[in-house]
Amino acid sequence: MVNNNNTEYLADFVIYLGDVITANNIPIANASLYWDEAISPTRARGIPWASIFGNHDDAPFEWPLAWFSSPGIPPIHCPSPNASSCSGVPFPFQGQRYCSFGGTRRIELMKKEIENNLLTLSKTGPKDLWPSISNYVLQLSSSDDPESPVLFMYFFDSGGGSYPEVISNAQAEWFQHVSEEINPDSRVPEVVFWHIPSKAYKNVAPWLRIHKPCVGSINKERVAAQEAELGIMDMLAKRSSVKAVFAGHNHGLDWCCPYKKLWLCYARHTGYGGYGNWRRGARILEINDQPFYIKSWIRMEDGDEHSQIILSP
């Protein structure tokens, strides 16, 4: 990355907010091969990261209509037999080749990431929250005192793909239990990351142009929220230490808007896949411990920066 005065810098930490791959367009059983390729730029730079799941990461395969546009049997669109990805329930093709279309489950994707990468801080999360996988908390500590927490970062699997787009009541209770255990007096600030925005995002969404107190640059689509609100937003809003929630999912939105005592923020159209042709960029967080503050802005692929906001003094 290059900043405005032409000095190079790298991020200290990267968060993948879901939809790392589009599994419903991958006709193989082992989609972790593509997941590994997607995170390779971060790994190559030696930057630690954490990831959560979106609605496309383990979505069922969808047969492309284009495959059936010509007469006869659809052409072969699966890897060669030595690609170690045609396994599971077989499906016949021309030439007696077989390929699985069962997809790769969340748990398999996360286990592969953890097993193959020393730099990842991702976790599978508590087993009793299954089928939700990526639910965990990371502590950001002071460089002067590794035992002293500066910020707690909570990661949630907001569903989609193989199960409904929702943060369950069990996940909300997990958050309440863990937060009260590790931050009982709410002294340490907290932030939350998930892929699909909660219904609260609809309540604060700008109409047409983005006006203060919201900050951002694109507002090109409606909020596509979770299917139901099962308690997590009430808990977050009542907890004074929670400063902001960050979501992905909507590629044409990059705003931050206040909601009660916290901020609801979007990332931005970042990757080279997915829908939309908006310019690519990423949401940056700068966290300072003395004095504490969370500053955020959007950095574009070409180095342009905009939409700076202080999320917590």
Q: Which residues, at least 6 apart from 138, have a Cβ–Cβ distance to it below 8 Å?
A: 50, 121, 152, 153, 155
pLDDT score for 87: 37
Per-residue pLDDT of the chain (313 residues; tens, 9 = 90+): 333 343 455 899 999 999 999 887 776 667 888 899 999 999 999 999 999 999 999 887 777 777 777 676 665 555 554 444 433 333 444 444 455 566 788 999 999 999 999 999 999 999 999 999 999 999 999 888 888 999 999 999 999 988 999 999 999 999 999 999 999 999 999 999 999 999 999 999 999 899 999 999 999 999 999 999 999 999 999 999 999 999 999 999 999 999 999 999 999 989 888 889 999 999 999 999 989 999 999 999 999 999 999 999 8
The tokens of 116 are what?
């193959």
CA distances from 108 to 131, 149, 168 (A): 12, 31, 21
How many CB atoms are closer than 10 A to CB 185?
Answer: 7
CA atoms within 13 A on the CB side of 302: 3
User: Is omega for the bond preceding 131 within 30 degrees of 0, making it cis?
Assistant: yes
| Residue 19 falls in which region: left (phi positive, over 0), alpha (psi -120 to 50) or beta | left
Supply the Cα-derived Rg of the chain in whole angstroms: 20
DSSP letter assigned to residue 242: E
How many CB atoms are closer than 10 A to CB 131?
Answer: 15
Q: Which residues, at least 6 apart from 283, have a Cβ–Cβ distance to it below 8 Å?
A: 246, 254, 265, 266, 267, 268, 296, 297, 298, 299
Instruction: State the pTM of this model.
Output: 0.88
Of 141, 123, 160, 158, nearest to 49 by C-alpha is 123
- Asked if residues 20 and 267 have their Cβ atoms less than 8 Å apart, the reply is no
Q: How far apart are CA 266 and CA 297, in angstroms?
A: 11
Residue reference for tokens 């969808």? 62
